[in-house]
């Protein structure tokens, strides 16, 4: 018996209002969510849905932007180190651990640290695209930034770790 002409709808079981609004994007235009390493940059979304790479030009601009973000992280590390060296003398002469000077220093130090942690987590999310090109861009940015802003005299015990 041929059942090819039979419909698969169930009369009386319509579900009005259960369509998927906002999902009218063609499948080839959606962000690819890779869970394995890839070199395919097309339809990669970096951190946000609006940072969706569809063209080669967008890929090149995004690659450069990620390199700059990696460099920026190294810049903020250097900026924090210089701030600490400059301001550590302010608290070294203070014997009262409850002084406003120490409290202000610790608050500023914590805010700077929090910014660095947030920044590093954003770079981690770029890495978690599992896209080799953008992983490479983060590393290139870190290398260039470290080369430009690293002070060999000031030792830094913080690494490029996420936290």
List pLDDT tens digits, range 42-71. 999 999 999 999 999 999 999 999 999 999
Per-residue model confidence (pLDDT) at position 3: 52
Best CA proximity match to 129, nearest among 41, 30, 23, 29: 41
DSSP code at position 93: T
Instruction: Assign residue 148 a region (left: φ > 0; alpha: ψ between -120 and 50; beta: otherwise).
Output: alpha
Residue 82 lies in a domain: yes
Task: With respect to residue 72, please indicate whether it lies within any of the assigned structural domains.
Answer: yes
CB 117 within 8 A of CB 160: no
Question: Chain-wide mean pLDDT for the chain?
Answer: 82
Q: What is the total count of domains within the chain? A: 1
Question: Does the pLDDT value for residue 17 go beyond 70?
Answer: no
CA distance 74 to 68: 10
Residue 22 lies in a domain: no
Asked if residue 30 has pLDDT above 80, the reply is: yes
Burial zone of 68 (CB within 10 Å; 0-12 exposed, 13-18 middle, 19+ buried):
middle
Assigned domain for 5 exists: no
Instruction: Give me 123's structure tokens.
Output: 């770079």
Does residue 43 belong to any structural domain of this protein? Answer: no
Within-domain flag for 78: yes
The whole-model pTM stands at 0.74
Residue 59 resides in a domain = yes
- Reported as a pLDDT band with limits 50, 70 and 90, residue 163 is very low
Residue 72: give the domain boundaries.
Answer: 52-91+100-163
At 34, the pLDDT band (50, 70, 90 cuts) reads: confident
Has residue 15 been placed in a domain? no
């Amino acid at each position: 018996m041929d059942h090819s002409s039979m419909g698969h709808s169930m009369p009386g079981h319509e579900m009005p209002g259960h369509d998927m609004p906002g999902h009218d994007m063609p499948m080839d235009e959606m962000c690819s969510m890779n869970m394995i390493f890839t070199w395919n940059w097309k339809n990669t979304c970096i951190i946000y849905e609006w940072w969706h790479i569809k063209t080669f030009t967008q890929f090149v601009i995004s690659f450069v932007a990620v390199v700059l973000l990696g460099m920026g992280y190294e810049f903020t590390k250097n900026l924090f180190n210089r701030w600490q060296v400059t301001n550590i003398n302010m608290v070294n002469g203070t014997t009262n651990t409850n002084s406003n000077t120490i409290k202000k220093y610790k608050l500023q130090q914590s805010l700077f640290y929090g910014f660095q942690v947030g920044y590093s987590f954003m770079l981690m999310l770029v890495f978690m695209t599992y896209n080799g090109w953008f992983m490479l861009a983060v590393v290139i940015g870190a290398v260039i930034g470290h080369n430009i802003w690293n002070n060999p005299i000031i030792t830094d015990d913080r690494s490029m770790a996420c936290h």
